[in-house]
Structure 1
Amino acid sequence: MAGNSYIIKFKEGSTDEEVTQLKKDLTDSGAEITHEYSLIKGIAVTLPEDQVTTLESNPHVDLIEKDQEVHIS
């Protein structure tokens, strides 16, 4: 699938049902969930760049960040 990897962090007040629905909406639109985090309420997902703007305005999304390597200098 063509797309980019992103980390999506859900807002703390989001219910499990709201998160589940958002994950279903993502996969229904062609996104692929590649990891679900346990330390934060979030997921790693591969999706087309044009979906990022839509997700940024979702009331249950706290943060969307491109998934990339981090180096300590």
Structure 2
Amino acid sequence: MAGNSYILRFKEDASDDEVSKTKKELTDSGAEITHEYSLIKAVSVNLPETEVGTFEAHEHVAGIEKDQEVKALDK
């Protein structure tokens, strides 16, 4: 599912229980959670494109963006 990797950020006020339920909804929809971040409420997920809109509108999700490589600029 390369190319369908996203960072999904949970709302700051989402409880641990709400985050857990949303993660279960993700896996039930065919997504694979590949990394859980500890400093921010977010997961890296391989998500079917057909499900992106569903989770963008989810009540406990702050946003979804394509996961991409980030490089520092050399001077």
Scaled by the length of structure 1, what TM-score is found?
Answer: 0.92
What secondary structure is seen at the aligned counterpart in 2 of 1:14? Answer: coil
Give SS of 1:72's match.
Answer: coil
- 2:29–2:51: 8 Å Cα contact kept in structure 1? no
In 1: Cα distance, 2:5 partner to 2:25 partner: 17
Provide, for residues 15-40 of structure 1, a one-character-per-residue CA deviation record: whole Å limited to 9, x for no partner. 01110001001111110000000010
Shift of 1:71: 2.2
Structure 1's consecutive aligned runs of 4 or more residues displaced over 4 angstroms after TM superposition are none
Kindly tell me the number of residue pairs found equivalent between the two proteins: 73
Look up the SS of the partner of 1:25 in the other structure: helix
1:4 aligns to 2:31 (yes or no): no
Q: Which residue of 1 aligns with 2:61?
A: 61
In structure 2, the partner of 1:41 is 41
**Consecutive unaligned residues in structure 2, runs of 5 or more:** none
User: Based on CA coordinates, which of the two structures has the bigger radius of gyration?
Assistant: 2
**Matches of 1:41 and 1:72, distance apart in 2:** 24
- Does the CA-based 8 Å contact 1:3-1:48 persist in structure 2? no
